[in-house]
Amino acid sequence: MPGEPPYSRIPTSPRSSTSDAFERLRIDDDPSASGFPASRRAPPRWPPSESSAWKLFLATCTAVLALSALNLLSLSSSAALSTAAQNRAAQARLRAGELKRPSVYLGLDRVPVDPGYCRSRGTFPKRFWTYDADMGARAVLERVHAPDDKTVLRFGGPVRVVVDTYIPDHGLENCTLSLRRIPTSPSSPSDDSPTQDIDVYLLPSASIHPESPHGGGATYLDTLLYAPGRESTSRPFFCPSRGHVFFEWRCAARDCKVEFDLEGVTSLTASAASLSKTGFRITQYEGMQCIPARE
């Protein structure tokens, strides 16, 4: 129609930014629209499944057991090494002589002693030998013994006596040696026998006096008086408990003759009546202050 404006198409409007955003959301929501599998793009699920929890539990237990085993092995090795080191040290001290059994009398030296209550004990010789010093290098010890010691001990001049005395274990290690001579007749307190001097030596063993060729390292102790009705006592000397003390008795005078019965004055036959017999006796004392002064 004349006068009407020509017909024109409505121009297509460009896509708006809003439509583009919806398009992108659609593509993102569509797993097939992207180039990656859905399994790689899906977020992890929590809590895990039951099988995964068991695997985690077993793995944790295995790790704990392994650590415990390592810790136990380490402690055992350390203890073994420490024990071995202590054993080696103890053996070294033992070889060096550092380990010694303590004395049963340890500390007794610090205990105050009252002389009025001193302990003492008497004991008698055990074995006897004689030898002739005039024999020189040919001198030998001859045992003097008999059943129940029913024999007589004779010495004097060149004949000398070697004696073995055992010291009992009483801790009384301060000793004196006494010689008592009882008169032969109770009615006469003194007889006609002359008084004799008997020299006493300490020996390291049952050996012969060093003046003989055999030697022996004897030590002079004292001289005892052998007189009727008298008792003579030597100066003190050390007598180890549970040990032996060896003596040598000599009467140097050429005409000296000493003899007395051994029955009742030996450790085998001693009794309460032994103090009324002629012979030698050892007295053990608790301390030096317990020994009576010599006359």
- DSSP category for residue 286: S
User: Are residues 89 and 219 located together in one domain of the fold?
Assistant: no
User: Are residues 70 and 144 located together in one domain of the fold?
Assistant: no
pLDDT at 19: 52
User: Which tokens is 229 given?
Assistant: 């009705």
In a domain, 225, yes or no: yes
pLDDT at 36: 47
In a domain, 210, yes or no: yes
Which of 43-52, 111-120, 238-247, 267-276 is predicted least confidently? 43-52
| pLDDT one-digit tens code per residue, 172-197 | 999 999 999 998 765 555 556 788 99
Edge to edge, the sheet with strand 243-250 lists 142-143, 127-132, 159-167, 243-250, 196-203, 219-226
Global pTM reads 0.59
Can you give the CATH number for the domain in which 264 is found? 2.60.120
User: Are residues 166 and 209 located together in one domain of the fold?
Assistant: yes
**Residue that wins the pLDDT comparison between 11 and 294:** 294
Q: Using DSSP bridges, classify how beta strands 230-233 and 279-285 pair: parallel, antiparallel or unpaired.
A: unpaired
